[in-house]
Chains A and B, each alone.
Chain A
């Protein structure tokens, strides 16, 4: 577990360093995630230790949201004065995103399946 945590921290550190050095517009941990993903592709898999640790952290991902969520205390004024645009934007956008993603993927899936069945003939 310590080994896997070390690996995760090293990738995050490399990611953060690259972001600062190259002035990338992307958060450092995302670069770290990409690099780890590429490493796993090259290596052909994650070690059991890394798999277990990643699963352990991600299982309780929601706990990690809590301290930042409590920060709503700092924004009580903003939330109170802009609650209408915030609420409507969240609701409409969430519904629209589910609709658009599902419909687009379904159309593309139908096309791919049609192409595949034509190949079979």
Chain B
């Protein structure tokens, strides 16, 4: 009995099917918990799914590479998903043109703060170079952040973890910060959340209002673009690349 179970496990562990299926099952469980928990930001489905999978892989003593052989099919979709961001961005084009100056001003200030403050604080507290490079793009959506980290010599998988953590933090703190400084326009509230906390923040902004959500989506897309274009250029211009 035990040995036949083991045979099945050995067979399954060698095919991509297991990693792929486990990813989807863990996400379904996490999403169910999130909805049941009233969409509390701390029950973020990514966070819960990752925790479930890490626990499962550790308990069964399965290597990450074995898991990723299957999960890479999900991971691969990050590329087309990034391209797909063009569609909602285009849908917001009318608003984008009307509020062009305030949006660009907020975007540039926010994008610079997001990268600059993370790197400076991390550096002051003694984080290693590789950690700093993985930390820098933490405010933008995962596929783009991972691409930047990979290009500049950070660790894409560490970046992914930091991006998710940033999103959860942003979703938890955003409302009280914006209330405290008395920003009431939903366009501004949403945009700030999207710039700081990408997709996870955007989901939170939709709970504030439809308008806040739309502007958060815009902030997420524009910051992905701004950071992807400006950060690698600045990095090379200031000679950190050498």
Contacts and interface: CB of A to CB of B under 8 A. Distances in A.
Given A12-B83, A102-B181, A105-B191, A67 B113 contact: no
Contact of B160 (A5, A40, A65): A65
Given A66-B27, A73-B58, A98 B170 contact: yes
Contacts of A21: none
A94 B183 contact: no
If over half of B's interface residues share one DSSP class (helix, strand or loop), that class is named, otherwise mixed; here it is helix
Contacts of B236: 25
Contacts of A17: none
Contacts of B93: 41
Interface string A4-47: 01001101100100000000011111101110110011000110
A94 B195 CA distance: 10
B208 interface: no
Interface stretch (B4-12, B35-43, B103-111): B103-111
A100 B88 CA distance: 25
A25 to B, nearest CB: 4
A90 B165 contact: yes
Interface residues of B, number: 113
B121 A97 contact: no
Given A71-B64, A73-B64, A92-B121, A105 B106 contact: yes
B196 A98 contact: yes
Interface string B92-108: 01000001011101110
B107 to A, nearest CB: 7
B7 to A, nearest CB: 26
Give the residue among A33, A45, A46, A88 with the most B Cβ atoms within 10 A: A33
A96 B23 CA distance: 34
Contacts of B74: 63-64, 66-67
Contacts of B225: 30, 33-34
20 contacts: A29-B83, A29-B147, A33-B85, A55-B88, A58-B87, A64-B143, A67-B23, A67-B74, A69-B50, A71-B68, A79-B161, A86-B131, A89-B121, A96-B113, A97-B139, A98-B178, A98-B195, A101-B106, A101-B191, A103-B181
